[in-house]
Structure 1
Amino acid sequence: MTEELITPWDLTGGLGDSHVPTYIENMADVVLTHYDLKVGERTVIATKADKGGLIWKIETDRGPFSLKVLHRSPERSLFSIGAQDYLVHEKKALVPPIFKTKTGESFVEMGGKLWFVAEWITLTEASKDLIGAQQLCAGLGEFHRLSKGYEPPYGAEKPSRLFRWPSKYEKMITKMTWFKDIANAYPEQTASPTILSAVDLFEAQARKSLTQLEESTYFELIKKGNQEWGLVHQDYGWANGQLGPGGVWLIDLDGVAYDLPIRDLRKLITGQMEELGIWDVDWMKGMIEAYHETNPIEPDLFDLLIIDMTLPNEFYLQVKDIVYNPLTFMDEELDSILKQIINNDPSKWPAIEELKEWKGAIT
């Protein structure tokens, strides 16, 4: 009898955040028989219904745990589970320890996915101010430093973005032309005029960023290789870096990959600048300083942090989904967000210039 595979169950979001198909609940019952736990209540904490993943909190005779089914391929998930084990057991990092099965395994494979149980850590979000941002940055630096040297288990995929920076920049440049073509093709959509008013400017910025990357020490730095640089989280922020016993805990490591560590830091900083509505250099310095204290940034890496900031990351992230369904995505909400990004852009460049001048003080 062929085992039923877990597939996305809510592509439109209409079923609600806590809906889980019965067959997956039944699988969870079977998976839990692999553990020496007496399980009581099971509560859905979060779902990735459009991808086929979710997490429950389970109450047991040994206290609370999380039960998670990872939406990626087993080979890709094995990489992240191995990383979680490595960080806990080899580096004593603040990530939730994985609870082993009765046979000493870190996971159970079922429905074409990997499942695992981890200790439930009681956490609280950091404050949404500079102090909280600095706590997150310090925790991120610690994670990056401790993740160096990770070698995944046999059979695991080895995701690396270390060597892909130029192609990522080139992809952004190419898609700027797509955005222009789509906006011109759907002029009646609310966000079309706003996209067309700025896309040439942001394409020029991306081209300049690519030139700067090609002229930087990037190609020398990546020669150190994956293990030397370690892991990035890829989705780090207030939700996935939270305060708990001993400091900042990193959770939801599903997407970890090899890369230059400052990619995570850049995402955190530029995302916060968008949230603030202005490029605040004091915030930027404070966040970089906090990171630098736990994972010192060498001068050449600082240069790459700046170059990656010069990309029109915020504009690109907001617009890229229009290629899937222009009629859905080019709405009033997107228009409002893009206008804010465009209005913020003039404050970005003086802040970046000030960071360049400040480089010597931090590195």
Structure 2
Amino acid sequence: MFIEPWIVDETMHEFFVPDYIEQMAEDVLRHYDLSVQSRQVVTTKPDKGGAIWKLETNKGPKSLKLLHRRPTRSLFSLGAQRYLVDVQKANVPPIVQTKEGTDYVEAGGKLWFVAEWIEPLFPVTKDLEGAKQLCYALGEFHRLSKGYVPPKGAEIASRLYKWPKTYEKTINKMDWFRQLAKAYKEMPASAMLLEVVDRFQAQARESFTRLQQSPYDQLVELGHSEWGLVHQDYGWSNGQMGANGMWIIDLDGVAYDLPIRDLRKLISGTMADLYRWDAQWVREMIRAYHEANPIDASLYDILMIDLSLPNEFYKNLKEVVYEPELFLTEQTMQLIEIIVATDETKWPVLAEIENDWKENRNR
């Protein structure tokens, strides 16, 4: 039986997993030399068909993961986890091998694996000090991931060469936003969306032009192992403090890319949480990352360009394409207002931060 995504409604427990998958989990665990005293679901991805359980065993706490991606793609991330632990001694959870000496079990058309459950782990404080700790740990992770070569049979997960396409997609989707706002003009958020979409599309076009004129092509020519891996979903929950420093967990989505894509996401997401851009925060976050994984002038240029893209607007509005009549609500109108207000604080900060770097270069 193949594992399929499942639907969760309000009558079900938050971490509901279908019985057949729980049965598969039991079968998978028979491949391990572990006596499992308890198994508890701690997170699920019902829309994709993934889950994580915490296990209490005779050999201490472990995690059991059902990876929702294609097996060949999951093989890439498992190989990365093995490389980071065994070769680079990174603070990422070690994989527990099966009785047969493999890193995973294939069942239901997906890969399952067991890893050490690291405890105690706790999130860093949601302040500038915490953000700096996160950025330093991220830089360290990027530096240690260089040189990774995936195992035979693994799909190459890479976003390294895709930046121009991503920028173009952002520009083109704005046309869709505009058309949908016109088609559903009676909806509460439509007028507001029409009012601001030109501004954000112009920003995206400007960012794309800058990318085309940047050192991007020369940088990506250096290839995969030179740049190493990005986490793709890094933040306060996936970078946590443990007994011997910061640990990075949930590596299922790692891919080759320019490392500062992770840093950009962390900065723009943090500024969105603050509801304003703050030059001191951005400066200190970049500095902390740079200490662990030095950013040269070319890469810094790319970081500035990626920060200039209307990332938060695109990320929050792209769902309009799927169900416009459910999306263009009063709530979305308020969200657009917040994004616009936050965006207005971004440009003076970016100008200041770009200027910082020029001054450092000229010293």
User: Is TM (by shorter chain) over 0.5?
Assistant: yes
Mapping for residues 194-205 of structure 1, pairs under 5 Å: 194-205=192-203
Partner of 1:301: 299
Residues 263-305 of structure 1 show CA distances to partners (whole Å, capped at 9, x for unaligned) of 0000000011111011101000010011000000011000000
Q: Give distance in 1, aligned partners of 2:135 and 2:289.
A: 5
Which of the residues 88, 94, 98 maps onto 2:95?
98
Amino acid at match of 2:333: D
Residues 134-168 of structure 1 show CA distances to partners (whole Å, capped at 9, x for unaligned) of 00000000000000010111111101110010010
Instruction: Kindly state the Cα deviation for residue 246 of structure 1 after the two structures are TM-superposed.
Output: 1.7
Partner of 2:328: 330
Q: Give distance in 1, aligned partners of 2:130 and 2:84.
A: 23
Which of the residues 339, 342, 353 maps onto 1:341?
339
Q: Is the 8 A contact 1:10 1:50 kept in 2?
A: yes
Q: Alpha carbon RMSD of aligned pairs, Å?
A: 1.2
Partner of 2:75: 78
Q: Secondary structure at the match of 2:122?
A: coil
Q: Is the 8 A contact 1:95 1:250 kept in 2?
A: yes
Q: Give distance in 2, aligned partners of 1:278 and 1:69.
A: 38
Q: Secondary structure at the match of 1:176?
A: helix
Instruction: Kindly state the Cα deviation for residue 333 of structure 1 after the two structures are TM-superposed.
Output: 2.5
Q: Give distance in 2, aligned partners of 1:326 and 1:178.
A: 11
Instruction: Kindly state the Cα deviation for residue 330 of structure 1 after the two structures are TM-superposed.
Output: 1.8
Q: Is the 8 A contact 2:312 2:339 kept in 1?
A: yes
Cα 1:273–1:259 shift into 2, 3 Å? same
Partner of 2:86: 89
Amino acid at match of 1:273: M
Q: Secondary structure at the match of 1:203?
A: helix
Cα 1:76–1:14 shift into 2, 3 Å? farther
Q: Secondary structure at the match of 2:236?
A: coil
Q: Secondary structure at the match of 1:45?
A: strand
Which of the residues 261, 273, 276 maps onto 1:275?
273
Is residue 48 of structure 1 aligned with residue 45 of structure 2?
yes
Amino acid at match of 2:343: D
Residues 9-68 of structure 1 show CA distances to partners (whole Å, capped at 9, x for unaligned) of 116676342111100000011000000000011111000011100000000000110000
Q: Give distance in 2, aligned partners of 1:13 and 1:249.
A: 34
Partner of 1:261: 259
**Structure 2: segments with no counterpart, 5+ residues:** none
Q: Give distance in 2, aligned partners of 1:22 and 1:111.
A: 13
Mapping for residues 186-225 of structure 1, pairs under 5 Å: 186-225=184-223
Partner of 1:37: 34
Amino acid at match of 1:333: Q
Q: Secondary structure at the match of 2:48?
A: coil
Residues 175-234 of structure 1 show CA distances to partners (whole Å, capped at 9, x for unaligned) of 000000001111122221221111000000000000000000000000100111000000
Q: Secondary structure at the match of 1:57?
A: strand
Q: Give distance in 1, aligned partners of 2:99 and 2:127.
A: 44
Q: Secondary structure at the match of 1:47?
A: strand
Partner of 1:57: 54
Partner of 1:129: 127
Q: Give distance in 2, aligned partners of 1:14 and 1:144.
A: 42
Q: Give distance in 1, aligned partners of 2:359 and 2:67.
A: 43
Q: Secondary structure at the match of 1:109?
A: strand
Q: Is the 8 A contact 2:53 2:64 kept in 1?
A: yes
TM-score, length basis structure 1: 0.97
Which of the residues 220, 225, 228 maps onto 2:226?
228
Q: Give distance in 1, aligned partners of 2:329 and 2:78.
A: 39
Which of the residues 245, 249, 252 maps onto 1:251?
249
Q: Give distance in 2, aligned partners of 1:333 and 1:93.
A: 42
Moved more, 237-246 or 51-60: 237-246
Partner of 2:20: 23
Q: Is the 8 A contact 2:8 2:16 kept in 1?
A: no
Amino acid at match of 1:79: F
Q: Give distance in 1, aligned partners of 2:80 and 2:200.
A: 36
Q: Is the 8 A contact 2:320 2:327 kept in 1?
A: yes
Amino acid at match of 1:81: L
- Give the number of aligned pairs: 360
Q: Give distance in 2, aligned partners of 1:36 and 1:240.
A: 28
Q: Give distance in 1, aligned partners of 2:15 and 2:163.
A: 37
> Sequence identity of aligned pairs in percent?
57
Partner of 1:148: 146
Q: Secondary structure at the match of 2:17?
A: coil
